[in-house]
């Protein structure tokens, strides 16, 4: 593969299939299968999943009743639900996996401990990082970048709805240009 360690990021919506909400187990299994291919090729894999299939902080706060900070914490909890689901699917396919959460929820999963995450990866286990960065006002893309740097990933693979990085949203702007390379 050319990479020793990677960080895979995908949105929560990717798990929801056509319904746009919740978790479609067939899609969950498909994505877990793709991750297994990486593991089978000797790649160490960290995963960050968004939570938008359950709740988004920004949207929850739109009506002015739920404050943005609380909305973001709700969104972080949503990412833990997705992380636990991914853990189940990977284990179902025979892949060793651990979930670590930036917010301590110790009855549900391990807490994020950088050195422990590294050990899991070295042992060939997938580590799913839940709760984003653990802070409101940050996206799970920021969490993916942070964890990627922390674990020394060679690359961040972002599975998304478009085929590359654009100067603006290609779904909204027909003149959006794909950037071939960025610093
Ligand atoms: P090694 O230390 O390399 O053997 O890793 P390990 O993860 O198998 O060992 P450990 O005994 O720490 O964990 C055993 C299981 O308990 C794993 O599935 C962990 O994810 C889980 N686990 C460990 N710590 C916690 C925790 O604080 N909360 C929860 N819910 N599970 C935990």
| pLDDT at res. 182 | 83
Do the domain assignments include residue 103?
yes
Give me the domain span that covers residue 77: 5-159
Residue nearest to atom 26 of ligand 1 (CA): 110
Q: What distance in angstroms lies between residue 56's CA and the mean position of ligand 1's atoms? A: 29
Question: For position 25, which CATH number holds?
Answer: 3.40.1160.10
Give the position, in ligand 1's atom list, of the atom nearest the Cα of 123: 3
Do the domain assignments include residue 178?
no
**Chain centroid to CA 148: how far?**
11
Tokens at 25, concatenated: 């187990």
Residues with CB under 6 A from ligand 1: 98, 106-111, 119, 123
Do the domain assignments include residue 31?
yes
Give Cα separations from 177 to 162, 164, 166, 170, 174 (angstroms). 12, 10, 5, 8, 9
Do the domain assignments include residue 67?
yes
Q: What distance in angstroms lies between residue 166's CA and the mean position of ligand 1's atoms? A: 40
Confidence band of 117 (pLDDT split at 50, 70, 90)? very high
Do the domain assignments include residue 170?
no
Q: What is the best residue among 105, 109, 111, 112 to mutate for testing ligand 1's pocket, by most ligand atoms within 8 Å of CB?
A: 109
Lowest mean pLDDT among 1-10, 156-165, 166-175: 156-165
| pLDDT at res. 18 | 84
pTM: 0.92
Q: What is the best residue among 97, 98, 99, 122 to mutate for testing ligand 1's pocket, by most ligand atoms within 8 Å of CB?
A: 98
Radius of gyration of the chain (CA): 16
Residue nearest to atom 3 of ligand 1 (CA): 120
Do the domain assignments include residue 100?
yes
Look at the chain and report how many structural domains it folds into.
1
pLDDT by residue (tens digit) across 74-114?
Answer: 999 999 999 999 999 999 999 999 999 999 999 999 999 99
Do the domain assignments include residue 165?
no
Is the pLDDT at 25 greater than 90? The verdict is yes
* Whole-number percent of the chain with pLDDT over 70: 99
Do the domain assignments include residue 181?
no
Sheet bearing 44-49, strands edge to edge: 110-111, 97-101, 126-130, 44-49, 5-10, 155-159
Mean per-residue pLDDT of the chain: 95
């Amino acid at each position: 593969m050319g990479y020793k360690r990677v960080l895979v990021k995908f949105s929560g919506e990717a798990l929801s299939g056509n319904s746009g909400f919740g978790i479609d187990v067939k899609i969950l299994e498909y994505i877990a299968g793709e991750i297994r291919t990486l593991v089978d090729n000797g790649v160490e894999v960290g995963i960050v999943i968004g939570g938008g299939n359950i709740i988004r902080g920004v949207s929850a706060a739109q009506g002015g009743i739920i404050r943005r900070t609380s909305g973001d914490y709700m969104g972080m909890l949503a990412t833990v639900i997705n992380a636990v689901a991914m853990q189940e699917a990977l284990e179902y396919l025979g892949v060793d996996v651990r979930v670590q959460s930036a917010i301590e929820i110790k009855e549900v999963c391990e807490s994020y401990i950088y050195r422990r995450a590294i050990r899991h990866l070295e042992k060939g286990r997938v580590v799913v990082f839940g709760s984003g960065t653990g802070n409101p006002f940050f996206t799970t893309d920021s969490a993916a970048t942070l964890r990627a740097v922390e674990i020394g990933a060679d690359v961040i693979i972002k599975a998304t709805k478009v085929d590359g990085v654009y100067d603006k949203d290609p779904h909204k702007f027909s003149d959006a240009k794909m950037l071939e390379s960025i610093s």
